[in-house]
Homo-oligomer: A and B are copies of this chain.
Amino acid sequence: MKIKPLFERVVLESIKEENKSSTIILPDANLEKSQIAIVKEIGTGGNIDGEKIVFQVDIGDKVIYNKFSGHEISIDGKTYIIISQNDILGIIKEK
């Protein structure tokens, strides 16, 4: 079973960062606002306000997103987030 998000949305799978050599810590003030996840599914695309949706993230990308946006659901014991691409802040790239 999988979810195909509509329009500009993507599906993220929440992860807990465990990389020992390099750590990302979300500080107190924004602790609950930013989170890290893996892109699992890209939306159907199409147009919003007459402008074609362009995806800048790909399946497998590790991203930081604004936690207060999006909808969490749980399928088969894993937590997923359906979120607008615009609420993804950036892509985390290993050097």
Contact = CB atoms under 8 A, between A and B. Distances in A.
Interface of A: 1-7, 9, 11, 19, 22-27, 29-30, 33-34, 43-44, 46-47, 49-51, 54, 56-57, 64, 66, 71-76, 79, 82, 85-86, 88-95
Given A11-B90, A73-B27, A89-B71, A64 B22 contact: no
Nearest to A2: B93
A93 B6 CA distance: 13
Which 7 pairs, one residue from A and one from B, show the smallest C-beta to C-beta distance? A5-B90, A25-B74, A3-B90, A82-B89, A1-B22, A4-B91, A34-B71
Contact of A54 (B4, B47, B90): B47
Tally of this chain's copies: 7
